[in-house]
Amino acid sequence: MTAEQIMKIFRDTAYVHTGGSAEELRAANYLKDCCAELGLEAHLETFEVQMATMKTAKLIADGVEIECKGYLNCGCHEVEAPFMYMPSNDKVSMSQVKGKIVMLDTGMGAWTYKDLCENGAAGFITYDGNANYVDWDIDQKELRSFVRADNPKLPGVNINAKNAIQLVNKDTKTVKIVIDQDEYVGESRNVVFDMPGEIPETIVFTAHYDTTSLSQGAYDNMSGSIGLLGIAEYFLSHPHRYSLRFIFCGSEERGLLGSKAYVAAHEEELKNIAMCINLDMIGSIMGRFIACCTSENELVGYTAYLGHEKGFQVAPYQDVYSSDSTPFADKGIPAISFARAAGGAVATIHNSYDTMALMKAEHMLGDIDFICAFSDRMANAVRCPVKREMPDNMKEKLDRYLLRKR
């Protein structure tokens, strides 16, 4: 893989492609074609996702309409109620939400949603963007099914941070939310291909290729998808004892839906998977290289030693990573997620600034090189050295991340 080829893929995929959309299908087919160019036959595996078409979304604050986007899949509503700014979801604040439309400082999490429902909130407002940026972008949010869980659907809108400040500063008294949408079941897809080895035991490589609603997703995560192509290309000319499976995951940004669907649909095959190697955001101009190990802690030391051997800066640590490695780890499969993590001042994601302008082909090549070196050791191990068992501290973190424990 050359610097030119890498930049061409970034250019070719420089459009928004959210999970379940026609553009996501376009990106999936593009990646399939990239595989075909390498002589590898990929196929699309579809899975159901909740979709919605927003027809009307209005937020009116003390008679003045505020630009907003309605939460997809939050139902149809017309509600007017007192406004309450709730910068903290502590018990005292929660005890005062009854009958009010509440504006949060955070996005909508599952436990906050449950608390708002149980305490009788009438609706919610979230905001994003950055008051210091010139744009007035508003991200398209959705009420995820696992956030809503068994609770009722509350009306919700997302607004720009600049307007959020105004709502508070103007002592807003009453807000009205009007939402009309068509909700339906649609389709998202994973792109999958195999490189059989000498034994059926398999190492799975994952990277999501979908984006959020404003983002072209060069950094997050066409970079990781290109990484998978680079790894596949490496193993075309290097032997591998383990079989390799590559999965470009769809709908990651909607709550790891692609990898969750994959482990659900391939339950029987999971016992053959020795390890999951996940790439989510590599090759940026700025940032340090990290490796998040959802496994026994020994993998942290191993990865650090490999960095020393290769003269490559890598900061490994043990934790659960918010990416497609997690549904595999939750099935007891040791997982490692590689990323080049840049500070928000030099590279931001999940907004319109995530473009190829953040990327550097030479860093892509260097990162892919190191991940190939790591993968080569695992793929040619006489016996995969990482214990195929989750330690208790990781089980505990998985329980919390996947909302089984608060």
What does the binding site for Zn ion look like in residue numbers (CB under 5 A)? 220-221, 280
- Residue placing its CB nearer to Zn ion in the complex, 167 or 229: 229
Nearer to Zn ion, 50 or 215 (CB): 215
Q: Between 280 and 330, whose beta carbon lies closer to Zn ion?
A: 280
CB of 284 to Zn ion, least distance (A): 12
Residues 6 or more apart whose CB falls under 8 angstroms from that of 291 comprise 300, 303, 314, 315, 316, 317, 336, 337, 338
Residue 277 beta carbon to Zn ion: minimum distance, rounded to whole angstroms: 15
Coil, strand or helix at 82: strand
Helix H, strand E, coil C: the string for 129-162 is CCCCCCCCCCCCCECCHHHHCCCCCCCEEEEEHH
Q: Which residue, 252 or 296, is less far from Zn ion as judged by CB? A: 252
- Alpha-helix residue ranges (DSSP H) falling in 244-360: 257-265, 298-310, 325-329
Strands 174-195 and 156-160: unpaired
CB of 80 to Zn ion, least distance (A): 38
Compare residues 164 and 229 and give the one whose CB is closer to Zn ion: 229
Closest CA to 394 of 255, 297, 267, 265: 297
When the beta carbons of 84 and 247 are compared against Zn ion, the nearer one is 247
DSSP state of 221: I
Which is nearer to Zn ion, 164 or 191 (by Cβ)?
Answer: 191
Report in angstroms how near the CB of residue 244 gets to Zn ion at its nearest. 22
Enclosing H/E stretch for 103: strand 101-104
From residue 332, give the alpha-carbon distance in Å to each of 26, 210, 254, 399: 33, 25, 23, 12
Q: How far apart are the first and last CA of the chain?
A: 44
- Cis preceding linkage at 221, omega within 30: yes
Shortest spacing between CB 253 and Zn ion, in angstroms:
7
Q: Cβ 59 to Zn ion, closest distance in Å?
A: 29
CB of 31 to Zn ion, least distance (A): 15
